Amino acid sequence: MGIGVIIIGDEILSGRRTDKHLPKIIELLGARGLALDWAEYVGDDPARITATLARTFASGDIVFSTGGIGATPDDHTRQCAAQALGVPLELHPEAAELIRARIRDTAAQSGKPVELESPENLHRLNMGTFPQGAAIIPNSYNKIPGFSVGDHHFVPGFPVMAWPMIEWVLDTKYAHLHHASPRVERSLLVFGLPESRITPLMVAIERDFEGVRAFSLPSVGDAARGALFARAHIDLGVKGDPEKANAAFDVLREGVIALGGEVVEVPPAEAQ
């Protein structure tokens, strides 16, 4: 079972908004010993959203979807999720009560009488229509819930709402996965060698240490990150089970030195 994220919205693809979800979700997962396996950006196109969800529902992955669950004409995610599942939308009773509670709160704050049956407030109930069989995700910011269907979890596009909701899902539904498979990532900066000289060493590492993955990130140099990173270099490392990855890292380091490379190990926080 992998973990993925779908970030929905034309405003992200057009550049009107800068996506903040991806780095935050990586952070939330990392704090729990989990890692993101894939991410996709999708515009507000119903056919594309439906096709994407049909594929990810079939994958068996844990999926977080952000955006498009409101009730304006450019919000399609709820409808697309239902279509991808082949089930109808229906008003979730608990979601309806939470939305009405929000309407009452808003009316009280403005000093106006509550009109639950007004066209405007009846339209707001559409935000509680989810695919049949869905469960709600509580929203601590304004009570308007998101929803889950199996291992797919749908939250608003607003970070102030979405991020606590994702944390709630992770801590409520997947606490048993937290730190279940310890992993370590170690890397070093390599100077004076091309990637082509290092590639056979990476292949040997992955062959000899089962489950360990080697990675190579070349750079022409980035003085803005400091003197250490100013020269052309390769960020070379391994990740996987701590015991195997640490042993593989020692072999990697010695192999680079044997090839004539200059190496500097960088702490994880700086390597980012």
pLDDT score for 183: 86
| Of residues 203, 140, 125, 209, the one with CA closest to residue 172 | 140
Check: CB of residue 134 under 8 Å from CB of residue 89.
no
Which residue range(s) make up the domain with 38?
Answer: 3-177
CATH number, domain of 218, equals 3.30.70.1130
pLDDT score for 268: 57
CATH number, domain of 57, equals 3.40.980.10
pLDDT score for 270: 42
Check: CB of residue 124 under 8 Å from CB of residue 71.
yes
Among 130, 146, 177, the domain boundary falls at 177
pLDDT score for 113: 84
pTM of the model as a whole? 0.83
Distance CA 240, CA 245 (A): 5
**Rounded mean pLDDT for each run of 10 residues along the chain, 272 residues in total:** 95 93 96 94 96 97 96 94 97 96 89 86 93 96 96 96 98 94 90 93 96 93 77 92 94 95 73 40
Radius of gyration of the chain measured on its C-alpha atoms? 24
Q: Considering its fold, how many domains does the chain have in total?
A: 2
Among 143, 177, 211, the domain boundary falls at 177
pLDDT score for 114: 82
